[in-house]
Amino acid sequence: MLNEHPDFSPASRHSQEEPIRLTRLYTATLLGLALLLTIAEVITQWQIDKFQDELWLIRYTATQRHQSQQIAKKALQLADTRDSTTFRAIQSELGTLFSAIERSHLEGRQGLVRDSIGRRSTRMIENSPEVKQRYQNVKPHFEALQTSIRQLIALKEPEQIKSVSGQASLKLLLANENPFLEKIDLVVRQYTAELRQNLTRLQRVELWLHLLTLCTLIGIAYFIYRPAARRLRQTIDRLVDAEKRTTDVNRKLTSANKSLKKARQQLFDATKLQFQQQINEQKSRTAYLMAGQEEERKRLSRELHDGLGQMLTAIKLQVEGLEARLTNEGVTNSNLSALKTLITQTIQETRSISNNLMPSVLSDFGLIPGLRMLVESHNRAEHEGGSPLRITLQADEWLSDSAHRLDKTIEITLYRVSQEAVTNAIRHGKASKIDIQLFEKDQYLHLTITDNGAGFKTQRLVKEPHGQGVHNIHERIKLLNGIFKLTSTPGKGTKLKVSIPYHSQLISHDYDQTNAG
């Protein structure tokens, strides 16, 4: 059964190997073509460089004709000159011209080449035997010119040009000028003929390379492009057929995907709804728990204020009456004074506990008076105990207006957060300065409490999750969809920031009227 699978059939394996074979053949042909073109370009450039050097050599060789004519002209001017200064100037020009023609002649004879600015090329041109023979023919005339010019340059005074040796040098120069020009012209012609032969040979080589390139391109078109185009058409036909089948499969898959996506979305919505219900239930339980705690605080506060407080007040009155009767009878007892002081302190402590559980100022007058009472009570307590402590409160003016009360839950939450933060700063941070700020910005109520206490590492809150105070603050703020942020550095104090969404509006309150009294 395995051999019947189309992917394992011999035809399939052949169809898979055919593109690889064509690719290799195509690559090899292109590489051969590129190599052929590269060789042709290298040969052409090398020959062109060589031709340029030969052209410069021909130019320098042809320059000798003009230089020899100038030398003859200067020699005749030297013979007609009587002034010593002009005589020496012409001799100097004659020497310069002779040095130039001598250098050009000797370098041309050796095959040395110079560029347009006079720099000698690193390559040398091997003169052909014909060129060497031409230079050999011109050599006697060049040496005669050398001898005559050197003798003329060696003259000291203008009168010496009239001497026998001076006239002989001048005649020798003039006698060899025309033969030198004719022989040099033959050298130039020989150079030109050889250059034309080389150009003709280069043209034939380029023609053969061009024909070879055309043949290679024809071979590529016949042996590669033609089979590849045929197989490409077959492949396109197969692809079209496969595309039709794929379209049908994709249509079915799209329908299945839509159904799957719809089912997944329904499952996601159901999971999200269930999770949201769980969160809402958790918030409701937490809210009920917080409300129960506040109600229990109110009940305890009322019990302490109305029950235990009244009883302690009655005991104090009885003790004061007993003390008055004993004083009238002339009996003094120091224990009664101590007992009366203890009862007074107990009454004050009971009132403080009752006020901490649910301050009547908060329920009667709002958050800002409650916070002021919290600040004043701590400042007064620390002042009486001798400890240095200063708590400051800053709030927006409209918050102090009793006509603009906040929501009951917000007031209680912000008061409990402030109460917990101040207590922690005094008890654990040993702070001497605490700043409380309450303001509204961007439809949020922002409460910031900063102290200069000992501080702590906030990582402890992760390692020690049993910190009930911070946990309660976080739970209270989360119920109001607020933001809670706590930053602290050991030795640099602690900063607590709470932000609660708020829209300014007139709020009605339903505090317990019994506790308000």
392-439 pLDDT per residue, tens: 888 888 877 766 778 888 888 888 888 888 888 888 888 888 999 998
Q: Please, which pLDDT band fits residue 143 given cuts at 50, 70 and 90?
A: confident
The domain made up of 21-244 is a member of CATH 1.20.120.1730: yes
Q: Which sign does the torsion angle of CA 395, 399, 405, 410 carry?
A: negative
Q: Say how far apart CA 472 and CA 416 lie, in whole Å.
A: 9
Question: Who wins on pLDDT, 232 or 93?
Answer: 93
For the cut 60, the answer to whether the pLDDT of residue 19 exceeds it is yes
Question: What integer is the mean pLDDT of 353-369?
Answer: 72
Does residue 212 come out as left (phi exceeding 0), alpha (psi in the -120 to 50 range) or beta? Answer: alpha
How far is Cα 473 from Cα 482, in angstroms, rounded to an integer?
Answer: 11
**117-143 CB burial, b ≥16 within 10 A, e <16:** eeeeeeeebebeeebeebbeebeebbe
What is the C-alpha to C-alpha distance for residues 336 and 315, in angstroms, rounded to an integer? Answer: 12
Q: How far is CA 217 from the centre of its chain?
A: 48
Burial bucket for residue 465 (CB in 10 Å: 0-12, 13-18, 19+): exposed
Average pLDDT on 129-135 reads 82
Given a cut of 50, is residue 175 above it in pLDDT? yes
**What phi and psi values does residue 66 have, to the nearest 5 degrees?**
-65, -40
DSSP assignment letter at 358: S
Whole-angstrom distance, CA of residue 493 vs CA of residue 308? 39
How does pLDDT run across 309-323, given as a tens digit for each residue?
677 777 777 777 776
| Matching residue, tokens 């091997």 | 126
State the span(s) of the chain assigned CATH 3.30.565.10.
362-517
What is the rounded average pLDDT of the residues 129-148? 84
Q: Is a pLDDT exceeding 80 seen at residue 325?
A: no
- Burial (CB < 10 A; 0-12, 13-18, 19+), residue 248, is exposed
| The pLDDT of residue 226 | 79
Residue 514: predicted pLDDT:
33
| Most distant CA atoms of the chain, gap in Å | 180
The confidence score (pLDDT) of residue 282 equals 64
Count CB neighbours of 391 within 10 A.
22
Residue 467 phi/psi, 5° resolution? -70, 95
pLDDT in tens, 93-111: 888 888 888 887 777 777 7
Lowest average pLDDT, out of 197-201, 317-321, 463-467, goes to 463-467
Predicted model pTM: 0.41
**Architecture in CATH of 362-517:** 2-Layer Sandwich (3.30)
> Cα(217)–Cα(99) distance, rounded to whole angstroms?
57
Q: How confident is the model over 48-68, as pLDDT tens digits? A: 766 666 776 677 677 777 778
What's the confidence (pLDDT) of residue 448? 93
User: CATH 1.20.120.1730 spans which residues of the chain?
Assistant: 21-244
For residue 106, what are its two tokens?
A: 């000797």
Please report how many Cα atoms fall inside a 13 Å half-sphere around the Cα of residue 74, on the Cβ side: 23
